[in-house]
Structure formats: C-alpha cells, structure tokens
Amino acid sequence: MPAAHWHDHVELNVITRGGMTYLINGKQIRLQESAIYCFWAASPHQVVAALDGTELVCVYVPFADLLSLAVSSDFKNDLMAGHVLTASSVDPADTLMVRRWARDWDVTTEQMADLLRDEVRLRVRRLAVDQRRADVAEGAFEGEHRRSATQVADRRVIGRVQQMTTFINSDFAKPISVTDVARIGGLHPTNATAMFHKVLGQSIAQYLRQRRLNHALKLLAGTDMAIIEVAFESGHGSLSRFYDAFQRQVHCTPKDYRRRFRA
C-alpha cells in the first residue's frame, strides 16, 4: 500500500494466511493469522509490511450500522478514539467464516446479501463482549468518559443521531456549536446531548473534537499543507488550540506525526 488512506467505515480484518503490519494513526500494529481486528477506517491507515503469500479478508461496515448496534459504549468509544480492537483469543472459526463471506458475496442474491450483513453485525456484537485492544503500547489514543452499559436505542433515536453526525461530518471545519447540531436533530441541546450519548456513548462535543482531529490526521498524512493550514482546515480555530488538542490525544506534535508517515 503506497500511501495511507481512509474511509468512513468500521473495518473488520481477518488474515486467513500469513501476517502483516499496519501503520494506523502513526503507530505500527501487527496483525497475526486467524485473529480478527476491528477499527474505524476514518483514521489514516496503511499496510507497511506483509509476509509472502499473505491473504486478507476486509469487511466494511457502514458507520450508520455501528450506530444501530446494541453494543457497549466502551466499544464504540474505543473505535472512534482510534483504537484497534481484537478478540481476547484467536477463534479458528473466524477464518472459515470470512472465507465463506467472501465466496458468498461474489455470487450473492439480495436475500443472501441481507443474511451476510446480519452475520457481520452479529460478529461485531460478539467481538464487543469479548475484546481487547491490539494497540496497547504507549501513544495509543485514550477514549474519554468510558461506561459499560449496553446501548439500546430505537430507530427514531438512531435516525436523529444519524442526522446530527451527518451534519458534523459535513460541517466540522466550520465554527459550529452543540446548539447548531441539536437544531439539525430538531431537539433542545440538552435532549440532543442525552440522545447522542445514549447511542454513541460520548457527547456531541467529544464527537466533534474527534472528527476534527481525524481530518487533521488525514491532512498531515496525505498532503504537504503547512501545519497552520491543517489547523484551520480541520476546524480548530487557532494554532495553539490545535497543538493542545493534538498533544492531548495523539501524544506527539503534528510535525512528529507527519514524520512517521514519511519515514
């Protein structure tokens, strides 16, 4: 993979043969054979090494699907904070399962496609109750305000939150406020914050900060923009505010982060 890339999905990876190393958020994560890995692909990621003959099955889960899953907010928070999650132990059944998914998807009917989507969602839910961080070294992002209650939200609530996240994702570079986001959902800011927290396990402000940071990471990894331009392009408002947020969440300077991808 010649350069880092990103997309707004939750990604499931299983190496059916071999092994490889990702560079995610400027940090190397080694993926072992037969283990399952899950991460939010909005973070810049790049394959930097692979054993000969390595075979990888990637499954892309739409971000909206993550919102609708009844999983712990810890799990959602860890994904959105940039962590790579894996099962507590390797399950050989995962290799057989993803090979079947890949085979069935190529010849699928719409009925089979729906079944495959359900199977993927169930595997994510299973991972959420039996997972650990694959990126435990110093420098990994830390989620804010963790809690362990299983999230259960009806379709109306999920729909409102999707409206709000869509607005944030499109306008995060602008000086938007919690009130602006709540208005998109047709809610009072207090109710919007509570609803947002119920579905995602974090506040509107936390999600907005993470979205801005993710965009900054993309610009640092994929462009030659000056750091001050990155700060304003990602909605941080000032260079000092950008440096404070970056150091707090990434534990290095923007210049050091960029150097990791250029090394």
Residues 195 and 213 grouped into a single domain:
no
What pTM was computed for the model?
Answer: 0.64
Please give the residue range of the domain that contains residue 66.
9-133
Query: Residue 11's pLDDT is what?
Result: 95
96 falls within a domain = yes
Kindly tell me if the per-residue pLDDT of 19 is higher than 90.
yes
Closest by CA to 249, choosing from 153, 138, 99, 141, is 141
Contact, 90 vs 32, CB < 8 A? yes
Statement to judge: residues 99 and 24 lie in one domain: yes
pLDDT given for residue 234 in this prediction: 93
Q: How many domains does the chain divide into?
A: 3
- Does residue 2 carry a pLDDT above 80? no
List the alpha helices (DSSP H) in the chain.
Answer: 63-68, 73-80, 93-106, 110-129, 155-171, 178-184, 189-200, 204-222, 227-233, 239-250, 254-262
Of all residues in the chain, what percent carry a pLDDT higher than 70?
Answer: 87
Compute the mean pLDDT over every residue in the chain, rounded to the nearest whole number.
84
- 109 lies in the same domain as 14: yes
Phi-psi region of 174 (alpha: psi -120 to 50; beta: other; left: phi over 0): beta
Q: How does DSSP assign 27-41, residue by residue?
A: EEEEEPTT-EEEEET
Nearest CA to 20 out of 44, 61, 55 is that of 55
Helices 254-262 and 239-250 meet at what angle, rounded to 10? 60
* Amino acid 4: pLDDT: 61
The confidence score (pLDDT) of residue 139 equals 37
Q: Distance (Å, rounded) from C-alpha 178 to C-alpha 253? A: 28
- 112 with 165, same domain: the answer is no
5 contact partners, CB below 8 Å, separation of at least 6: 44, 45, 46, 222
56 with 108, same domain: the answer is yes
pLDDT tier, 1 (very low <50, low <70, confident <90, very high otherwise): low
* Confidence (pLDDT) at 184: 93
* Residue (of 60, 59, 49) closest to 19 by Cα position: 49
The 10s digit of each residue's pLDDT in 21-78 is 887 755 678 999 999 999 988 776 778 789 999 999 999 998 768 877 888 878 887 8
Are residues 169 and 233 located together in one domain of the fold? no
167 contacts 181 by C-beta, under 8 angstroms: yes
Q: Where are the alpha helices (DSSP H) in 130-203?
A: 155-171, 178-184, 189-200
Q: Indicate whether 112 belongs to any domain.
A: yes
Residue-wise pLDDT tens digits, 81-102: 778 999 999 999 999 999 999 9
Query: Model confidence over 216-257: pLDDT tens digits?
Result: 887 887 789 999 999 999 999 899 999 998 998 888 899 988
In a domain, 143, yes or no: no
Q: What is the pLDDT of residue 98?
A: 96
Spatial neighbors of 129 by CB under 8 A, at least 6 apart, are 71, 72
Pair of tokens at residue 55 = 């075979």
Q: Which one is predicted more confidently, 181 or 82?
A: 181
241 and 165 share one domain: no
Average pLDDT of the residues in 106-128: 91
In this structure, the answer to whether residues 183 and 226 fall within a common structural domain is no
Question: Which residue from 99, 96, 1 is spatially nearest to 50, judged by alpha carbons?
Answer: 1
